[in-house]
Chain A
Amino acid sequence: MIQKTASHVICVTNNPDWGPGRDGFEYVDGGPWGVFKRARDLVHGGWRFLAHPLYGNFNPMRHPYRTLLLESPSGGDRSVDMESFSMLEAALESCRAGMAKNYGGESGEAARRDFAKLDCELMRDALNRYCLWAPVIS
């Protein structure tokens, strides 16, 4: 376990499977593009990614849910973390490519449920490490 308190870490997500009202979670309405846009605001404010935003072997626009884990700037230093900035820009570029190719169409309820579960599973370990308790969802 990494010794960090949850107050320094935020999880930005649009995935309803995490459940409502979780400490350290910020829910975003809409698709993955909205989640990346919120992360962009945070990265421009000095936050940095703790997990790679392009997890999962999907174009992000093909997967309706996205959960991003970021850490607040320390000691009042708001300078942009260039590694996070670079990862974010690559993610946004992937989103744009996916949108241009008409990814992200309606996939049906069964697929939606499985996408939500898979999103949780891919990020569960990462969240647990940073003390954002992530349940096993069956």
Chain B
Amino acid sequence: MRLELHRARVKGIRWGSATALAGDGVLQVNRDELLALIREDGRFAGVDADLASPGDRVRIVPVKDVVEPRCKIEGDGEVFPGMIGDVETVGQGKTFVLDGAAVVTCGKIVGFQEGIIDMSGVGAEYTPYSVTFNLVLIFRPVDGIEIYEYEQACRLAGLKAALYLARSAHESGAAADRVETFELPSVPELLSAYPKLPRVAYLYQLQTQGLLHDTYVYGLDAKRLIATIIHPNETMDGAIVSGNCVSSCDKNSTFTHQNNPVISALYARHGVDLNFVGVIISNENVTLIDKRRSSAYAVKLARILGIEGLVISEEGFGNPDADLIMNCHRAEIAGIRTVLITDEYAGRDGASQSLADATKEADAVVSCGNANMIVELPKMDRVIGYTDYVDVIAGGFSGSLRADGSIEVELQAITGATCELGFTRMGAKTL
């Protein structure tokens, strides 16, 4: 499969009379047209929209998801298959990307909320969404709506808005600044392509514990999946969508599923020092029998493909740690070397046990940060959303929200701060 990402750089965002990417790179959005589209869903009593740019003294909270605007311009299907379109296989042809823009969905779903994006100050350094030009949707549900229904309405609204922005900009004549090509041939070709390089695959664990902890693949609730193979290009076209709203620091947003850096890195090294054979997706269910089934099946697929090295990422902490460690142990016993990607809950001083599970085979682990670390977020000039529940959010504690508007929280409260795909602003490289 071959996919071209046609990236048009967004250098600003503003309201305007028509949705288009202006010649100066500013994304202009027709607010009324956008809101009319989102309000077609009768599950909202109210929808508002706001804009936030890098450097603004703005706080967005509580954030549910972040989505990158994309649309298909050539090839089968449409982005976010099974969610807002048909289920035709994606990942081939050409996809237009508003590079540097994001749709952020925001609003109360339950009585405890989380997810902070600060566009400036200390907090901005920890979230990857402080450097994107954000269109923020703020939702209010109709009375009496069931939580599942409302969560779905919020999720779909973000996807619709992202498609609307990209489609409108492309139809207005926006041209790409840069084209990236991603191509992996069939498995038999891959296996014979680089006989001297180690065959490496990516085991991509998806959060699937239940309400507010879900992920969708082609619209299917991933907790019902048995481990399977997905082409890496499919992820770039939104085949994987987040329905996970809990633990914002290590939530894999839809944006990160579209821009998974593990996949980018494996592509970059394909044919150089490894042979990137493919991606296996598995889930993180609650029952132990599901965990054993998923793990056994995923490792079996890796063995069938003749994989020698497996990069494994998780989403979340506690329960998902068991999946991560089980996958590592089973793969290593099968003779497949593993590298794990996780974050840590090691206490505020970093001295406590980091993960809820361990195995001696886990001897190559990448940490994306300690979610318990305390940060002090200064008062912002403007808040988009609601701060009502900052004291009880994951990462908050009694007294987190101060009278002056500043917030003292653990990193856990900041959207994407310790993303376990490595999609963060902070990191380290071996030179």
Q: Which residues of A contact B (CB under 8 A)?
A: 2, 49-52, 54-59, 62, 69, 83, 86-87, 90-91, 93-94, 97, 101-103, 105, 107-108, 110-115, 117-118, 121-126, 129, 138
Q: Is the CB of A138 within 8 A of B146?
A: yes
**Interface pick from B185-193, B264-272, B348-356:** B348-356
Instruction: Give the interface size bracket for B toward A.
Output: 35 or more
Q: Is the CB of A122 within 8 A of B213?
A: yes
B70 adjacent to chain A (CB < 8 Å): no
Q: Is the CB of A55 within 8 A of B392?
A: no
Q: Which partner residue on chain A sits nearest B393 by CB separation? A: A62
- 23 A–B contacts, CB within 8 A, in A order: A51-B287, A52-B291, A54-B322, A56-B319, A57-B394, A87-B357, A90-B353, A90-B356, A94-B318, A97-B347, A105-B391, A107-B111, A107-B391, A111-B111, A111-B112, A117-B147, A118-B212, A121-B147, A121-B210, A123-B210, A125-B286, A125-B287, A138-B146
B17 adjacent to chain A (CB < 8 Å): no
- Which residues of chain B are near A126, meaning CB under 8 Å? 286-287
Q: Which partner residue on chain A sits nearest B223 by CB separation? A: A125
Partner of A52, one of B207, B211, B286: B286
Q: Which partner residue on chain B sits nearest A138 by CB separation? A: B146
B110 adjacent to chain A (CB < 8 Å): yes
A34 CA / B61 CA spacing, docked (Å)? 33
- Which residues of chain A are near B223, meaning CB under 8 Å? 125
Whole-angstrom distance from the CB of B218 to the nearest CB of chain A?
21
* A-contacting residues, B317-344, CB 8 Å: 317-319, 321-322
B36 adjacent to chain A (CB < 8 Å): no
A93 CA / B318 CA spacing, docked (Å)? 11
Whole-angstrom distance from the CB of B104 to the nearest CB of chain A?
20
Q: Is the CB of B110 within 8 A of A114?
A: yes
A18 CA / B147 CA spacing, docked (Å)? 17
A103 CA / B410 CA spacing, docked (Å)? 12
Q: Which partner residue on chain A sits nearest B248 by CB separation? A: A57
A58 CA / B322 CA spacing, docked (Å)? 15
Partner of B286, one of A58, A107, A113, A122: A122
* A-contacting residues, B375-408, CB 8 Å: 389, 391-392, 394, 397-398
Q: Given that A55-B286, A126-B286 are known contacts, is A108 also in contact with B111, CB under 8 Å in the complex?
A: yes
Q: Which residues of B contact A (CB under 8 A)?
A: 110-112, 146-147, 207, 209-213, 223, 244, 246-247, 250-251, 286-289, 291, 316-319, 321-322, 345, 347-348, 352-353, 356-357, 372, 389, 391-392, 394, 397-398
Q: Which partner residue on chain B sits nearest A90 by CB separation? A: B356
Q: Is the CB of A118 within 8 A of B110?
A: yes
Partner of A121, one of B211, B321, B352: B211
- Which residues of chain B are near A87, meaning CB under 8 Å? 322, 356-357
Partner of B397, one of A50, A51, A58, A105: A105
- Which residues of chain A are near B247, meaning CB under 8 Å? 57-58
A125 CA / B285 CA spacing, docked (Å)? 10
Q: Is the CB of A110 within 8 A of B111?
A: yes
Q: Is the CB of A51 within 8 A of B286?
A: yes
- Which residues of chain B are near A94, meaning CB under 8 Å? 318, 345, 356
Whole-angstrom distance from the CB of B319 to the nearest CB of chain A?
4
Partner of A102, one of B244, B287, B397: B397
Q: Which partner residue on chain A sits nearest B355 by CB separation? A: A90
Given contacts A103-B397, A107-B111, 7 further A-B contacts (CB under 8 A): A50-B289, A52-B318, A93-B353, A105-B397, A111-B111, A112-B111, A114-B112
